[in-house]
Amino acid sequence: MAINWKLIFKAVCYEIYYYVIGAAAIVEDFMNGHRNKLELVQRPGDVAVITGGARGIGVEVVKNLLKCDMHVIIGCRNTKAGERTIERIRSLGVTSGSAECFTLDMASFKSIKEFAANVTVKHPALHLLINNAGIMFVPFSLTEDGYESHFAVNYLGHCLLTHLLLPQLKVGGHSRGLNARIINVSSSAHVAGNINFKDFNLKEMYVASEAYAQSKLAQLLFTKKLESLLRESDSHVQVHAVHPGVVNTDLFNDTTLKKIFPWVPPLLFKTPAQGAITIMHACLSPLLEGCGGNYLSNSRVIANSPKADNKVTQDKLWDAMRKIVEVHMFGEM
């Protein structure tokens, strides 16, 4: 078998690029972590939806939403695991709020539609949508809908879900006189991303870290485009993208770093509880009311890669996405 030097070269370049981005992000966490203060607000009766709330950073977000006395809907592949997570949170002494789990596989458009229908039947008004579920550096595979898994789970699936829940978020935002909020858990890795319009699946020359970066840049482009549409229509919904920090979760299980230096993540990375703080800030901060479309890290708005501000790319990806998920009018049935 011929050795594909081009592929190896590309993979090595990405690996180095990630160490640089990761190191910069860790330095940012050290310098600005003190800005991260958890300030919870009581929101009885508000309904929050989170994808991937049974593990990692999501668990800490669920715990905080419950402390705010909200009703939390956890979308997860394994509802048993979700229910165990709720029990664990309760056993820690969090008694306020309420929670339920619905089946959701972000890698399947069909599952996303069923999930959205289940949610909507029970909850015609929603106040928060946290697009948290994500995968990183997984080997090449196509979903049942025919898309590369990073692109499908991290980006396309959340686009479809947001579209399906937007009417209920508009209702929720309108009824409260406070904007409903959509939070996209993106990543500083978006900096390394490029959108490959000729081949979203990157099947020509697949490098997992490139696929992750593409999906996270796509999320950010989406956030910006959606915010501009929401502002045009005065919709009582705003959207934020968040980098939670470099957080020690299972997301890093397959990285060379964790395999060779397993002591590094516990030493240098944030804990999941620390990673949840900026997400909570984006969910709750009164300072952000009416100011969507931005990118937050360590509880403040920071600059994203200029690539995410390119309106031509935003529109082009937006149109491609609508074709793929078969949405004619975004946010309308």
Ligand X SMILES: NC(=O)c1ccc[n+]([C@@H]2O[C@H](COP(=O)([O-])OP(=O)(O)OC[C@H]3O[C@@H](n4cnc5c(N)ncnc54)[C@H](OP(=O)(O)O)[C@@H]3O)[C@@H](O)[C@H]2O)c1
Which are the catalytic amino acids?
A: 212
* Cβ proximity of 127 and 175 under 8 Å: no
Of residues 168 through 187, those in contact with ligand X by CB under 6 A are 185, 187
The single residue among 199, 250, 289, 332 that binds ligand NAG, judged by CB under 6 A, is 250
- Nearest CA among 77, 36, 29, 31 for reference residue 54: 77
77 contributes a contact to ligand X by CB under 6 A: yes
324 binds, among ligand X, ligand NAG, none (CB under 5 to 8 A by kind): none
76 binds, among ligand NAG, ligand X, none (CB under 5 to 8 A by kind): ligand X
Which tokens hold the place of 242?
């968040």
68 binds, among ligand X, ligand NAG, none (CB under 5 to 8 A by kind): none
186 contributes a contact to ligand NAG by CB under 6 A: yes
* Torsional class of 19: left (φ above 0), alpha (ψ -120 to 50), beta (otherwise): alpha
d(CA 259, CA 190): 23
Radius of gyration (Cα) for the chain, nearest Å? 19
133 contributes a contact to ligand X by CB under 6 A: yes
In the complex with ligand X, which residue's Cβ is closer, 81 or 229? 81
| Helix boundaries (H) for the chain | 5-32, 56-67, 79-91, 109-122, 149-150, 157-176, 208-232, 256-260, 264-268, 272-284, 311-324
CB of 175 to ligand X, least distance (A): 29
Q: Which region, judged by CB under 6 A, interacts with ligand X, from 9-17, 132-140, 254-262, 307-315?
A: 132-140
* Torsional class of 148: left (φ above 0), alpha (ψ -120 to 50), beta (otherwise): beta
Who's near 304: CB < 8 A, 6+ residues apart?
A: 190, 220, 241, 295
Q: Specify the residue for token string 């479309």.
A: 293
Contacts with ligand NAG, 195-224, as mask; x by CB under 6 A: ------------------------x--xx-
SS3 241: strand
188 contributes a contact to ligand NAG by CB under 6 A: no
Helical axes 5-32 vs 208-232, angle rounded to 10°: 60
251 binds, among ligand NAG, ligand X, none (CB under 5 to 8 A by kind): ligand X
d(CA 63, CA 54): 11
Q: Which region, judged by CB under 6 A, interacts with ligand X, from 39-47, 55-63, 202-210, 223-231?
A: 55-63
Who's near 263: CB < 8 A, 6+ residues apart?
A: none
CB of 247 to ligand X, least distance (A): 4
The single residue among 89, 128, 246, 308 that binds ligand X, judged by CB under 6 A, is 246
The single residue among 108, 149, 162, 314 that binds ligand NAG, judged by CB under 6 A, is 162
Residues that bind ligand NAG (CB under 6 A): 102-103, 114, 118, 131, 155, 158-159, 162, 182, 184, 186, 219, 222-223, 226, 239, 250, 253
Residues that bind ligand X (CB under 6 A): 51-52, 54-58, 76-78, 81, 104-107, 132-136, 153, 185, 187, 243-244, 246-247, 249-251
